[in-house]
Amino acid sequence: MTLIIDLAPDNFNDVINASAEIIKNGGTVVFPTETVYGLGADALSSEACAKIFRAKERPIDNPLIVHVSNFEMVKQVAEISDDLLKKMKNIWPGPLTLLLKKKDIVPDIVTSNMDTVCVRFPDNKIALALIEKAGPIAAPSANIATKPSIVDSADAIREFDGRVDAIINAGRVKYGVESTILDVTVHPFELLRPGAFTLEDIEELLGEVHVGSVAGGYSESSIALTPGMKYRHYAPSKKLILIENNQKFREFIQSDLSADFVALCSMENAQYAKYDSLILGNDIYEVAHNLFYYFRMLDSSNKKFGVIQSFSEKGIGFGVMNRIRKASYLILKDKENIDKINNVLNEYR
């Protein structure tokens, strides 16, 4: 039995009290953050955290983020220098997660037996009040493993009713892509996942960052099949094709070749669509806000495939393009002929 806890204008405290009680009793609660919904449990209880892995069907070797609501709680779960803590006072609460050395109080199941822990101080009223009342909360994104993250409570209820103890029904979240993850145990700091907190802002506030390979994850070959379905993340169930060249994207969506496709694109590009389109938005924050929501709409549409354009990688666009690439089954670059898409997809028609 899953309790659906509706948020109304006058019941904030009741929502927090009921949800905190469930967490303190070792239960699981789906709750909003400013990025995506989280599937939370008491971060200091192995048994409670085991329920997260079961509800999400998450492999046990994929560690959880620990959510905190004040600076004392950061020090309760992780080692952090005074200098860094001081700098984080300009950033937290906010969607930048730090990878730190963990303290013994954090059970091994949370960190998959590693000696590091991801710590996140979310900028969402409900999340903060819940953590303040219940203590540190371990929470991955609230979605069945490999599916797109959830940005709307209606989707959370569809996916988790019957799998968790409670779901806070609080509508749409602010950003729509997950937090940025920064490893601060190495120097220079290393970006592990681009996300809602921009790289530009990190570099301004914390100094130089090593970016490594997070943006890629796909092959440079002429027609890039995402390496093995095993590594698709954040993906709709329907096959998604990314056409990186905007001219080619427009050519494709105005051709008969796109009859089986929903086009996910800007308003400007949607004018070229001969068949169905979903307008992701006009600026990159709107695109972020709608991306995972529309992945789920694509899955419930009557079309077989999705095709998506690329966006600028500045600011939050870096995180957006990282999610699009990871979700894509096929990635077409500048030089390819769009006819290839149909050759590759014919076996799925």
Residues of this chain that interact with Mg ion (CB under 5 A) are 141
Query: Of 63 and 317, which CB lies nearer to ligand TXA in the complex structure?
Result: 63
Q: Which does 319 bind (CB under 5 to 8 A by kind): ligand TXA, Mg ion, none?
A: none
Shortest separation between residue 277's beta carbon and ligand TXA, angstroms:
28
Least distance from C-beta 248 to Mg ion, angstroms? 31
Residues in Cβ contact with 41 at an 8 Å cutoff, skipping those fewer than 6 apart: 23, 26, 27, 28, 29, 48, 49, 51, 52, 137, 138, 139
**Pairing mode of beta strands 305-309, 239-243:** parallel
Q: Which is nearer to ligand TXA, 75 or 326 (CB)?
A: 326
Do residues 264 and 306 make contact, with C-beta atoms less than 8 angstroms apart?
A: yes
Which one, 64 or 307, has the nearer CB to ligand TXA?
A: 64
**Residue 347: other Cβ atoms inside 10 A:** 6
Least distance to ligand TXA from the beta carbon of 35, Å? 3
Quote the Cα angle for 192-198-200, to 5°. Answer: 105
199 binds, among Mg ion, ligand TXA, none (CB under 5 to 8 A by kind): none
- Chain position carrying tokens 């393009």: 321
Question: Considering the complex, what minimum distance in angstroms separates the CB of residue 43 from ligand TXA?
Answer: 12
Closer of 210 and 340 to ligand TXA (Cβ): 210
Q: How many CB atoms lie within 10 A of CB 161?
A: 13
Closest CA to 167 of 132, 142, 134, 147: 142
27 binds, among ligand TXA, Mg ion, none (CB under 5 to 8 A by kind): none
**Closest residue by beta carbon to Mg ion:** 141
Written as one string, the DSSP assignment of 70-119 is SHHHHHHHEE--HHHHHHHTTT-SSSEEEEEEEPTTS-HHHHTT-SEEEE
Binding site for ligand TXA (CB under 6 A): 33, 35-36, 38, 62-65, 97, 99, 111, 114, 116-118, 120, 122, 139-141, 178-179, 181
Q: Which is nearer to ligand TXA, 111 or 254 (CB)?
A: 111
Could you tell me the smallest distance in angstroms from the CB atom of residue 143 to Mg ion? 6
